[in-house]
Structure 1
Amino acid sequence: MRAKDAVGRYGERLAERYLAAQGLEVLDRNWRGDTGEVDLVARQGRTLVVVEVKTRRGTGYGHPAEAVTPAKLRRLRRLAGQWLHEHPGSWAEVRIDVVAVVLPRSGAAQVEHLVGVS
């Protein structure tokens, strides 16, 4: 596994623990659809939450959330629709969240949860 991939997987594990601590139930991890992958799919009450996790070792190239482009959000909306089609349920709402994880050289990871970005 490449170092970049390992950092990403570690960030996803941190994000999952963070979301669980906030009361969300993770339903799916690294779910693959026709046009890409969803890092996490979760439930918060009757809301389906599609989560994009971005992890960086620092902010030298900008905040991790800045890497979630309008094109990425469009793809996530399409993937959310596909996930819903494959997993029927009665959802009151669907939203897309971003969890940004920064892993500094020393100290604890910084986790920021951006709710309802799309």
Structure 2
Amino acid sequence: MEAWTRAELGALGEQLAVDYLTLQGLRVLARNWRCRYGELDIIAADVANRTAVFVEVKTRTGEGFGGVEQAVTPDKVRRLRRLAGLWLAGQDERWHAVRLDVIGVRIGRRPTPEITHLQAVG
């Protein structure tokens, strides 16, 4: 396998996550939304039940950093909640619910990327 830069790997993982979410019936509203406090990888809508879904994408090529579960610390969840609140404050649409998800993308271990989707992490 050729060597990927971190940016290339991250971009590939995010695109695979977007494709996966779209197949799950979610509508992607924004990618790489930034403000002074940080960035949200993907903001999607579960239109059927009017839920805003904020997705953190973790792309890995090996086991070196642990699984997806270890990637989302309580500090990370707090930061994602804060960013989600800031994004929501700028929207006109009202949501019935808000959810924080994590999608792990593992590339290179198998011929096709492996996707792990953890819903409602915090």
Deviation for aligned residue 1:64: 3.4
Scaled by the length of structure 2, the TM-score of the pair is 0.90
CA distance in 1, matches of 2:32, 2:106: 20
The answer on 1:66 being equivalent to 2:70 is yes
Whole-Å Cα distance in 1 between the matches of residues 103 and 20 of structure 2? 9
Q: Which residue number corresponds to residue 83 of structure 1?
A: 87
CA drift at 1:89? 1.0
**How far, CA to CA, are the matches of 2:91 and 2:29 in structure 1?**
10
Specify the alignment match of 2:33 in structure 1.
Answer: 31
Letter in 2 for 1:13: Q
Q: Is the 8 A contact 1:54 1:65 kept in 2?
A: no
Structure 1 position 105, deviation (Å): 4.2
Indicate the RMSD between aligned Cα atoms, in angstroms. Answer: 1.3
Structure 1 segments, 4+ long, off by >2 Å, are none
User: Unpaired runs of 5+ in structure 1?
Assistant: none
Match of 2:107 in 1: 103
For the 8 Å contact 2:28–2:44, the answer to whether it is kept is yes
> Which residue matches 2:52?
48
Name the SS for the 2:120 alignment partner.
coil
- Alpha-carbon distance in 1 for matches of 2:68, 2:117: 11
Q: Percent identity?
A: 49
Distance, in Å, in 2 between the alignment partners of 1:31 and 1:61 is 25
